[in-house]
Chains A and B, each alone.
Chain A
Amino acid sequence: MVTLTIPEADMPPATAPEGIPAGIGVDLDDSPVRELNQALHDAVDGQSWTVTSPGGKHSLAVGIDADVDVTIEGHAGYYAAGMHQKGRVTITGNAGVGLAENIMSGSVHVKGDASQSAAATGHGGLVVIDGNAGARCGISMKGVDIVVGGDIGHMSAFMAQAGRLVVCGNAGDALGDSIYEARIYVKGSVASLGADCIEKPMRAEHLEELAGLLAAAGRTEDPAGFRRYGSARNLYHFHVDNSTSY
Chain B
Amino acid sequence: MTLTPIQQDIPAQVPVQELPAQDIAALGLRESATFDRATIADIQRAAATGVYDIRGWGAKRRVPHFDDLLFLGASMSRYPLEGYREKCDTDVVLGDRHASRPLHLQTPVTIAGMSFGALSANAKEALGRGASEVGTSTTTGDGGMTPEERGQSRHLVYQYLPSRYGMNPDDLRKADAIEIVLGQGAKPGGGGMLLGQKITERVAGMRTLPVGIDQRSASRHPDWTGPDDLEIKIGELREITDWKTPIYVKIGASRPYYDTALAVKSGADVVVVDGMQGGTAATQQVFIENVGIPTLAAIPQAVQALQELGVHRKVQLIVSGGIRTGADVAKALALGADAVAIGTAALIALGDNDPRYAAEYSALGSAAGFYDDFQDGRDPAGITTQDPDLASRLDPVAAGRRLANYLRVLTMEAQTIARACGKSHLHNLEPEDLVALTIEASAMARVPLAGTSWIPGAG
Contact = CB atoms under 8 A, between A and B. Distances in A.
Interface of A: 33-34, 37-38, 41, 58-59, 62-63, 65, 77-79, 82-83, 85, 97-98, 101-102, 104, 117, 120-121, 123, 136, 139-140, 142-143, 158-159, 161-162, 180-181, 236-240
A58 B232 contact: yes
Contacts of B236: 58-59, 62, 78-79, 82, 98
A104 B210 CA distance: 20
Interface residues of B, number: 33
Could you tell me the dominant secondary structure of chain A's interface residues? loop
Nearest to A139: B222
Given A38-B242, A58-B235, A180 B210 contact: yes
Contacts of A58: 232, 235-236
Contacts of A161: 207-209
13 contacts: A33-B239, A58-B232, A59-B239, A78-B232, A82-B236, A98-B224, A121-B223, A136-B222, A143-B208, A180-B213, A237-B196, A238-B195, A240-B49
B235 to A, nearest CB: 5
Contacts of B75: none
Contacts of A136: 222-223
B169 A121 contact: no
A62 B233 CA distance: 11
A181 to B, nearest CB: 6
Contacts of B214: 236-238
A1 to B, nearest CB: 15
Given A63-B169, A143-B208, 19 more contacts: A34-B239, A58-B232, A65-B169, A79-B236, A82-B236, A83-B240, A98-B224, A102-B164, A102-B167, A102-B169, A120-B164, A121-B222, A123-B208, A136-B223, A140-B218, A180-B210, A236-B214, A238-B51, A239-B51
The 8 closest A-B pairs by CB, nearest first: A63-B240, A240-B50, A98-B223, A117-B223, A121-B164, A238-B214, A83-B169, A236-B213
Contacts of B242: 37-38, 41
A17 B232 CA distance: 39
A121 B163 CA distance: 8
B297 interface: no
B184 to A, nearest CB: 19
B239 A63 contact: yes
Contacts of A98: 223-224, 233, 236
Interface of B: 49-51, 163-164, 167-170, 172, 195-196, 207-210, 213-214, 216, 218, 222-224, 229, 232-233, 235-236, 239-243
A136 B220 CA distance: 12
Contact of B222 (A59, A63, A140, A236): A140
Contacts of A236: 210, 213-214
A86 B432 CA distance: 56
Contacts of B169: 63, 65, 83, 85, 102, 104
B208 A142 contact: yes
Name B's interface SS. loop
A87 to B, nearest CB: 13
A139 B243 CA distance: 27
A142 B164 contact: yes
Nearest to A37: B239
B140 to A, nearest CB: 16
A121 B240 contact: no
A62 B207 CA distance: 23
A240 B51 CA distance: 6
Nearest to B235: A59
Contact of B223 (A63, A79, A181): A79
Nearest to B162: A140
A162 B208 contact: yes
Contacts of B50: 240
A180 B167 contact: no
Nearest to A241: B50
A34 B232 CA distance: 13
B146 to A, nearest CB: 17
Given A85-B169, A140-B163, A236-B210, A79 B222 contact: no
Nearest to A63: B240
A104 B173 CA distance: 14
Nearest to A80: B236
Contact of A180 (B164, B209, B243): B209
B167 A79 contact: no
Nearest to A118: B223
B210 A181 contact: yes
Contacts of A62: 236, 239-240
A117 B209 CA distance: 20
A214 B211 CA distance: 31
Contact of A104 (B163, B168, B207, B218): B168
A83 B172 CA distance: 10
A25 to B, nearest CB: 20
Nearest to A83: B169
Contacts of B209: 161, 180
A238 B216 contact: yes
